[in-house]
Chains A and B, each alone.
Chain A
């Protein structure tokens, strides 16, 4: 008996070490940048928290929101920037131009800011087809019109053949922080409900299939869309009870939940059966051995809402175009802090950790 106690003490000690290590700020120790650093998981976090944030160190940046708050002469603004390097340039459901507008507007929207204006930087590869460029410029103009933002400045650069993949697009956005919103990644409280604005995994799966790496055909379209209408509706209905919003882009819903669990030092429990997944996405993920929770979205966000407002928030969301499948997928708990747990449809429970890099197909 005495022996057993000693053993469990040792186990507890080792688990304590692991927990401390998890809680520490991620370090950057790699010799070279590899593809994991761009995948939105632990490696990306190491790069951002280990190199970038310490270098620039401002208070706003340390908040690690999707957009930073700037106040000019009493006017509350939000700013964000993003680069788009998607391959292929067009894919079912969208193209690089649409992503470049929606993606940046969505970072503003989920920060509680109404998108106002964008700047646009184009990096073009020598030899790019003019028709391809014109089509993307048209897509950018149309998407900006639909999102109600103006392109107010821009830049063009051309690089030698082979130095970029057709074209890269960078957009910087500015928005007006909505007075109805009081959002912060560190504001989550135990009991808060986790809502998802629709079915997940469509963008990442559509891109993976469009690259033709796998002999798989499925009618899956990217979900790229502007999220401001949905955010606007939520702010109107339950503004003061909204704690935080995040768009679940690279790294998927799983990465968003992990980041916020750490930022707020809370636990989360997700009911797997409640997460909406399109059957075609579920099928492709099953074949490739990838979990849709880690796959990128371009038109979905996670909302954390005070429990008493959850039903109204969900009802409001479902009335917004494109959010008909919105669902409550779980809630915020106290213990274990910083961890996301999943209740599987089968009745078991597991940790949903952050990936190191991209989800890689399993061989068996």
Chain B
């Protein structure tokens, strides 16, 4: 594939791997967090870990939009899906996320009409094709997917589609990062910044990370060479005693972000006072809801949702895993009560989660050879 294969070149990968080896101080242990679940996915898909020296460790951050949806929210979605006459639409990878009593996939089996869509516009199309049904779109994701929800709402308004509404569970990236950085037991040396979110918000919103917390951050693309390149850039900052926001993904990310997308979001959404994150708890001003102007398209107002908070199981230590304080296998329930088939916490939910990745992969990390 043109413009993709170039960023997966094994020879260039080995060259960058050599460069990283030359940049690290022997004896020092480096811990970098890749914020975005898309990075985690690439790291496992391409085996990027295998190209890093043993003293460079990647910690998987909170940027998996599916993993962070709390159980109570999934329960609300399922309740909506069971409302008389409702077609409930959501992204495919949301289907298996467990609520307190099963997932959307299981709700579908129990008789709810739940349909997987690839874009919120598909949900709007379903609404237009089924004028006698109420169509609800379960909107999730960071600033990456929020603009497409916003544009869909604008179109629904413009076209006057009365049977379409949105259950908004969009979240923003800066508050959870700040919450992580505020944690006294945080042990990180730098961040691989979320490239997809930055295409919308730009690189500027991450300036607080070096300014307030003294950690370098490099906004990076999602191909394996992008990730290795970003790691060399972080190491250079550390070696040269610099601490700033750098943009590795400049082929897509403008430093100031996408103004048009930000304007649409500002029109359609407003910040919730607080929003619950699976594994991280409540974080102030971290979630979006529909603004007053779009309140009539808000599914949570159109229907009654239980809105019951379901606590994460006590034994679950996802918060500590996300902060890099403990390794997945150090969690009390890892691999026993909590498995990819029956996950308890955020990190085991999606294939992008740190625990799921370790469950599948950990046994065969570089220290062990296949014979």
Spell out A's residues near B (CB within 8 Å).
Answer: 7, 10-11, 14-15, 17-19, 21, 30-36, 42, 213-215, 267, 269, 279, 282-283, 286, 288, 291, 333-336, 339, 341-351, 353, 356-357, 360-364
Interface size on B, residues (CB 8 A): 62
Query: Residue-by-residue, is B335-358 near A (CB-CB < 8 Å gives 1, otherwise 0)?
Result: 110011100000000001000000
Distance between B21 CB and nearest chain A CB, rounded to angstroms: 14
Interface residues of B in 88-134 (CB under 8 A from A): 91-96, 102, 105-106, 108-110, 116-119, 122
Q: Which 3 interchain pairs have the tightest Cβ spacing?
A: A348-B47, A360-B92, A34-B109
Residue of A nearest to B141 (CB): A363
Within 8 Å by CB of B109, from A35, A267, A363, lies A35
Surface stretch bound by A, among B6-14, B23-31, B211-219, B238-246 = B6-14
In the complex, the answer to whether B50 meets A361 with C-beta atoms within 8 Å is no
Distance between A282 CB and nearest chain B CB, rounded to angstroms: 6
Which residues of A are found within 8 Å of B93, using beta-carbon distances?
Answer: 360-363
B359 in the interface (beta carbon within 8 A): yes
Which residues of A are found within 8 Å of B329, using beta-carbon distances?
Answer: 10-11, 14-15
Which residues of A are found within 8 Å of B352, using beta-carbon distances?
Answer: 362
Within 8 Å by CB of B13, from A10, A336, A346, A361, lies A346
> Complex formed: what's the CA distance from A214 to B65 in Å?
21
Distance between A154 CB and nearest chain B CB, rounded to angstroms: 32
Which residues of B are found within 8 Å of A36, using beta-carbon distances?
Answer: 96, 105
Known: A341-B364, A360-B95. A349 touches B1 (CB 8 A): no
Residue of A nearest to B340 (CB): A356
In the complex, the answer to whether A286 meets B50 with C-beta atoms within 8 Å is no
Distance between A303 CB and nearest chain B CB, rounded to angstroms: 22
Distance between B184 CB and nearest chain A CB, rounded to angstroms: 22
Which residues of A are found within 8 Å of B38, using beta-carbon distances?
Answer: 364
Which residues of A are found within 8 Å of B336, using beta-carbon distances?
Answer: 14, 17
Distance between B148 CB and nearest chain A CB, rounded to angstroms: 10
Which residues of A are found within 8 Å of B47, using beta-carbon distances?
Answer: 342-344, 346-350
Distance between A176 CB and nearest chain B CB, rounded to angstroms: 40
In the complex, the answer to whether A335 meets B371 with C-beta atoms within 8 Å is yes
29 contacts between A and B (CB under 8 A): A15-B329, A18-B335, A18-B359, A21-B335, A31-B102, A32-B106, A34-B106, A42-B341, A213-B122, A215-B119, A269-B370, A279-B1, A288-B118, A336-B364, A344-B46, A345-B8, A346-B46, A346-B47, A347-B50, A347-B51, A348-B50, A349-B50, A356-B340, A357-B96, A361-B92, A361-B118, A362-B92, A362-B93, A363-B91
Which residues of A are found within 8 Å of B45, using beta-carbon distances?
Answer: 291, 344, 350
